[in-house]
Amino acid sequence: MPLIYTLNYETIKFTGGELSVRGLALPEINQLVAVHTEAAMSLFGEIQAKAAKDQQLDIGEMIFDVLNRFQAAVAHAIALAADAPDQVAVAAQLPMDVQLAAIEKIAVLSFAMDGGAKKFWETVQNLALAKGGLGEVGSQLLQTFMSGSGPSEGK
C-alpha cells in the first residue's frame, strides 16, 4: 500500500494579516531541540512528570507556559510550521494572541493519532526503556527528564 498523506493546515486570521500553520514533523522537532536544547529539555521533563503521575495534559496551560518561558523557541516553531523557516523574527513580532492560537494549532496538528501527545510520550518512554530502543544516550537523556533533573532555560 502506498503512503498517502496530505499535510493539514489551519489558518489564523487577525487584524493585519493571516497565518497558516501545520503540524511539525520529526526533523523539525529535532531542529527545535538542537537550537533550543535547554527549553526542550525543560518542557520534555515537565510533560514526562505529568504523564508519570497520570495527570491529564492540558494543552492550553502548557502552551501559555511555553509562550511565556520560551519565546525564541515559540517563534522558531511558528516559522517552521508556517513553512517560512527564514522568518523567525517576523513570527516573534506576531501579537501574543496570534502566537497562542498558532502554537495551539501546531500542537494539535503535530499529534494526529488517537491519544495525542500523551500517547506519543508513552511510546517514547516505552522505546527508551526497551533494550536498544533509543540507545544508551537516548535512554539516559529520557531518565534525566523523567527524574526532573534536566536543565531549564534561564539557568
Q: Give the mean model confidence (pLDDT) for residues 68-93.
A: 94
Structural domain boundaries of the chain? 9-112
- Separation between Cα atoms, residue 155 and residue 90, nearest integer Å: 26
Q: Which pLDDT score is estimated for 27?
A: 87
Q: Which pLDDT score is estimated for 15?
A: 95
Q: Which pLDDT score is estimated for 21?
A: 97
Q: Give the mean model confidence (pLDDT) for residues 98-111.
A: 89
Q: With a cut of 70, say whether residue 147 has pLDDT above it.
A: no
Q: What is the pLDDT of residues 7-60, one digit of tens each?
A: 899 999 999 999 999 999 888 888 887 888 887 777 777 777 776 776 666 766
- Residue of higher predicted confidence among 84 and 34: 84
Work out the burial of residue 73: count CB atoms within 10 Å of its CB; fewer than 13 is exposed, 13-18 middle, 19 or more buried: buried
Among 1-5, 37-41, 131-135, where is mean pLDDT lowest?
131-135
Q: With a cut of 90, say whether residue 75 has pLDDT above it.
A: yes
pTM of the prediction? Answer: 0.67
Report DSSP letters for 60-120, one per residue. Answer: HHHHHHHHHH-HHHHHHHHHHHTT-TT-HHHHHTS-HHHHHHHHHHHHHHH--STTHHHHH
- Separation between Cα atoms, residue 68 and residue 132, nearest integer Å: 37
